[in-house]
Amino acid sequence: MQKLMQDSLTSSIGSCEKCALSKGRNNVVLCDGDETAKIMLIGEAPGKEEDAQGKPFVGRAGKLLDELLKTAGVDRQSDLYICNIVKCRPPDNRKPEREEKEACRPYLISQIKLVKPRVIILCGAVAMESFIKEKTTITKARGRVFENPEFKGVKFVPVFHPSYLLRNHSTENGSPRDLTKKDLMFVKQLSA
């Protein structure tokens, strides 16, 4: 049943032209990982490598994410389902605009309903702002558990986006990378 739902979703998104992002894409970037995972990770949008390969988080930020997940004991293929707020790459890697996020939201909601995760990692401010209504910053919200009445029983945990971590190289205790590693370990515990 889940495979059928995923195939239907893939078909719908593959032919989507709801916003201008569809005109510049090479590939729709739908998801990666396990549809039965207890943890879902939602990023912002595909980048250049993701658009080329049709898979989320495969560029430099994705490689760093893979390292952090491994350190936290989270297997990308079996413990996680990864997707983005928008499924097509914005020009020049700009942040997705409101209309673009709204156009993709039904697809994202369908993905959440398909996977039925216990925990959703909100990777970066754009993902966080799409699900958390509290006015806050990613720095203040990261590592905390939030709820969204639209998704009863699901825990939302914001973390720094790996592209931000690429610009902040420190791995010292309390650095953004260190905090993200700890946040991912916390998510692993929450999902058990």
Q: What is the pLDDT of residues 32-51, one digit of tens each?
A: 999 999 999 999 999 999 99
For 96-108, the pLDDT digits (tens) are 999 999 999 999 9
Q: Where are the beta strands (DSSP E) in the chain?
A: 32-33, 39-43, 80-84, 119-123, 155-159
Torsion of CA 165, 60, 56, 191, to 10 degrees: -40
- Burial (CB count <10 Å: 0-12, 13-18, 19+), residue 92: exposed
Question: Which DSSP letter does residue 91 get?
Answer: G
- Structural domains in the chain, CATH included, are 2-191 (3.40.470.10)
pTM: 0.95
Question: Which DSSP letter does residue 146 get?
Answer: B
Q: What is the pLDDT of residue 13?
A: 80
User: Rg of the chain over CA atoms, in angstroms?
Assistant: 15
